[in-house]
């Protein structure tokens, strides 16, 4: 494929509710949407590491700089022999996986259009029926949390994820378990604990959680290995896994039993598939996590979730979940916690323009 032009579009959509994690509160959804022009088509990709560098060192401004300064010049006007060729072309850039993924996903979208194949088939998916879970931010009180869980269960969500942090963990989880003894329940700690908290975290074992996501440091896999041998709740790594090789090392060290694959964090869909394959071979489960993408990015999470080793419900945000308006039509909506990967979502360019903060046009 030959790319003639790349538009780097910074979008900012007001959110209809505040999402609070141990990183802080978010009220606006900032994203980098990439529009590529080539082979007689236009296609869209997206990645969003949050506006500030709180999830990783990347942020919206670093993405713009890296795409404009380095990724676009490396591929515009050149013939790319598929997605693997794109990885080779941008391999000289260290890290910056969200920036790479924003462009990479647009290339998958382009290939999907060129070949007339839905994304989920293109990535090698096997089952278009996708289970959807919900991730609930830190709530002002346990009662407020219980109410939210009740509402989401009534909507049909297949799995509930709650955020925990030191001081808001044992009591919260035990109250949730008492109220909902049998639901599929997991916790995400977003790196807010240290190995010295092992005894506290082991107290969560009795609540038969589906998994505990990223309890320890963002750059750690060694201590996670020690923690996993001290607790029975399966550890799921998120922030620690950036490459297929990170996944291999974490598995060798026994640092996790599950890996959450966020395509932005790992540089795109091809690396996501590679990590999936390594995990499947080693009996490590996967699921698709998210960064509150717009519908443009949700399409890629839906596609990945059709791969055979995506065994757990995905964090796919429906269009009405956080955004006052989404950028795709039809809206992304689940039915009793299920999505059909065959649904085609078209990018609504009028809404895209409405929520655009700035655009950089890159040409040869
Ligand atoms: Mg997480």
Span 9-36, pLDDT tens digits: 999 999 998 887 667 788 999 999 999 9
| Residue 86 pLDDT greater than 70, yes or no | yes
- How far is ligand 1, taken at its centre, from the CA of residue 229, in Å? 21
- How far is ligand 1, taken at its centre, from the CA of residue 61, in Å? 22
pLDDT for position 18: 86
List, for residues 93-126, the tens digit of each pLDDT value. Answer: 999 999 999 999 999 999 999 999 999 999 999 9
Structure token digits, residue 162? 């709650």
- How far is ligand 1, taken at its centre, from the CA of residue 76, in Å? 34
Is-above-0.85 flag for pTM? yes
Q: Which CATH class is domain 3-116+350-363?
A: alpha beta
- How far is ligand 1, taken at its centre, from the CA of residue 73, in Å? 33
Structure token digits, residue 159? 């799995």
For residue 262, indicate whether it is catalytic: yes
- The catalytic residue among 163, 257, 301, 351 is 163
Would you report the helix, strand and coil content of the chain in percent, each value rounded to 5?
A: 35, 25, 35
Structure token digits, residue 200? 């506290």
Q: How, if at all, do strands 328-329 and 212-213 pair?
A: unpaired
* In the chain, where the domains are located: 3-116+350-363, 121-347
| Helical ranges in the chain per DSSP H | 60-66, 72-75, 83-90, 97-115, 119-122, 142-155, 170-179, 198-202, 222-230, 244-252, 269-281, 295-304, 319-322, 349-354
C-alpha to C-alpha distance for 316 and 189, rounded to whole angstroms: 19
List, for residues 124-180, the tens digit of each pLDDT value. Answer: 999 999 999 999 988 889 999 999 999 999 999 999 999 999 999 999 999 999 999
Mean pLDDT, residues 277-301 taken together: 97
- The catalytic residue among 64, 262, 301, 351 is 262
Do residues 235 and 225 make contact, with C-beta atoms less than 8 angstroms apart?
no
- How far is ligand 1, taken at its centre, from the CA of residue 187, in Å? 9
Q: List residues, by chain if needed, whose CB lies under 5 Å from ion ligand 1.
A: 188, 213, 238
pLDDT for position 119: 98
SS3 category, 59: coil
Fold of 121-347: TIM Barrel (3.20.20)
- How far is ligand 1, taken at its centre, from the CA of residue 328, in Å? 25
- How far is ligand 1, taken at its centre, from the CA of residue 286, in Å? 13
SS3 category, 143: helix
pLDDT > 70: percent of the chain: 99
For residue 249, indicate whether it is catalytic: no
């Amino acid at each position: 494929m030959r790319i003639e032009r790349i538009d780097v579009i910074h979008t900012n959509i007001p959110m209809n509710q505040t999402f609070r994690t141990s990183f802080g509160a978010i009220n606006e959804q900032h994203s980098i949407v990439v529009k590529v022009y080539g082979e007689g088509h236009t296609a869209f990709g997206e990645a969003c590491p949050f506006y500030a560098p709180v999830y990783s060192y990347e942020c919206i401004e670093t993405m713009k700089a890296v795409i404009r300064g380095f990724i676009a010049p490396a591929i515009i006007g050149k013939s790319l022999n598929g997605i693997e060729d794109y990885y080779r072309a941008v391999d000289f850039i260290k890290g910056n996986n969200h920036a790479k993924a924003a462009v990479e996903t647009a290339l998958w979208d382009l290939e999907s259009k060129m070949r007339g194949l839905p994304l989920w088939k293109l990535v090698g998916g096997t089952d278009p029926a996708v289970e959807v879970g919900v991730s609930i931010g830190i709530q002002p009180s346990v009662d407020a949390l219980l109410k939210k869980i009740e509402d989401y269960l009534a909507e049909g969500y297949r799995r509930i994820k709650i955020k925990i942090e030191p001081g808001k963990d044992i009591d919260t989880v035990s109250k949730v378990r008492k109220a909902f003894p049998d639901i599929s329940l997991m916790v995400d700690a977003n790196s807010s604990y240290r190995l010295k908290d092992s005894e506290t975290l082991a107290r969560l074992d009795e609540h038969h959680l589906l998994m505990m996501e990223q309890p320890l440091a963002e750059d750690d896999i060694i201590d996670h290995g020690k923690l996993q041998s001290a607790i029975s709740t399966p550890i799921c790594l998120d922030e620690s896994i950036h490459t297929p090789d990170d996944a291999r090392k974490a598995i060798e060290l026994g640092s996790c039993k599950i890996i959450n694959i966020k395509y932005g964090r790992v540089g795109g869909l091809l690396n996501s598939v590679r990590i999936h394959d390594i995990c499947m071979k080693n009996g490590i489960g996967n699921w698709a996590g998210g960064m509150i993408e717009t519908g443009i990015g949700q399409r890629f999470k839906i596609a990945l979730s059709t791969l055979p080793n995506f065994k757990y419900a995905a964090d796919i945000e429906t269009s009405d979940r956080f955004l006052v308006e989404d950028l795709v039509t039809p809206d992304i909506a689940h039915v009793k916690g299920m999505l059909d990967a065959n649904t085609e979502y078209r990018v609504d360019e009028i809404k895209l323009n409405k929520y655009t903060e700035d655009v950089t046009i890159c040409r040869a």
